[in-house]
């Protein structure tokens, strides 16, 4: 039986919806019953993660922990968090629940195997926290980040997406920052904020685009179906053993 996915969402709500859409698209299914059971707590009242990291603002940990525990009580077998910056608080969330919590940065890092240099498009807080520098650096991959001027464009674009603005100007801001990273030698671009995939089309780029939302969704599907696939393989092995 597939395991139930718990989604600690709302950071922001539009990014959570994008994650759920990708989760559905990536699930191998031919009928309703083949899809995964998903428990979602979209909690936009969680204090701003970036403000806490950069300015010493209100700590979001208590709200993150409470939301994670709510999902655990609701029957989730494991959790995902479709917000990159929130992963700065991942250790505290993991300590607060008895079920696994997947790491979005690890999902991206696994997809970057074989690359030596990538460019990161993420919140300034994610950059400062070094989340991707650690995850990718442990695999021998160097992370390029935008110059301060281009990082400001990325942060402006993220705020715009949260405000429902997905137009050409917002896309141009992200593209300008991405082009700078590619010109500096990035072999791929990491969309390290779950708002950014909403204004980036991978087909517009000459380098691979590593969509953290899609990669987290793929990791969630694999985790949910892990026991089913293991049982199927065991059954095949037993049949051939006979």
Active site residues: 83, 193
**d(Cα 21, Cα 216) in Å, to the nearest integer?**
12
> Are the beta carbons of 109 and 136 closer than 8 angstroms?
yes
- Asked if the bond preceding 12 is cis, omega within 30° of 0, the reply is yes
**d(Cα 184, Cα 112) in Å, to the nearest integer?**
18
**d(Cα 3, Cα 18) in Å, to the nearest integer?**
21
**Residue found by looking up tokens 């082009």 in the block:** 179
CA dihedral over 193, 198, 203, 206, signed as positive or negative: negative
> How far, CA to CA in Å, does 46 sit from each of 5, 43, 101, 175?
20, 6, 18, 29
* DSSP letters for 58-112: ---HHHHHHHHHHHHHTT-SEEE---SGGGGGHHHHHHH-SS-B--HHHHHHHHT
CA angle centred on 124, ends 122 and 130, rounded to 5°:
80
Q: Torsion angle of alpha carbons 90, 94, 96, 97, nearest 10°? A: 140
Cα–Cα nearest to 84, from 41, 115, 128, 31:
128
């Amino acid at each position: 039986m597939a395991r139930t996915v718990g989604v600690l969402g709302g950071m922001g709500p539009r990014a959570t919806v994008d994650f759920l859409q990708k989760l559905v698209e990536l699930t191998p299914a031919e009928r309703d019953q083949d899809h995964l059971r998903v428990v979602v707590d979209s909690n936009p009242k969680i204090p701003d993660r970036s403000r806490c990291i950069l300015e010493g603002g209100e700590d979001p940990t208590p709200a993150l922990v409470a939301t994670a525990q709510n999902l655990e009580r609701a029957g989730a077998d494991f959790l995902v968090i479709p917000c990159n910056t929130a992963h700065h608080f991942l250790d505290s969330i993991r300590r607060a629940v008895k079920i696994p919590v997947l790491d979005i940065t690890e999902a991206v890092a696994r997809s970057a195997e074989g690359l030596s240099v990538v460019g990161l498009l993420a919140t300034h807080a994610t950059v400062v926290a070094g989340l991707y520098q650690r995850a990718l650096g442990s695999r021998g991959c160097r992370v390029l980040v935008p110059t301060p001027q281009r990082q400001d464009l990325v942060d402006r674009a993220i705020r715009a997406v949260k405000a429902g603005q997905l137009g050409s100007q917002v896309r141009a801001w992200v593209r300008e920052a991405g082009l700078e990273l590619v010109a500096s030698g990035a072999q791929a671009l990491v969309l390290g904020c779950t708002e950014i995939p909403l204004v980036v089309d991978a087909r517009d780029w000459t380098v691979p685009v590593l969509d953290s939302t899609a990669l987290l969704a793929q990791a969630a599907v694999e985790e949910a179906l892990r026991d089913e696939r293991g049982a199927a393989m065991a059954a095949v092995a037993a049949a051939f053993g006979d």
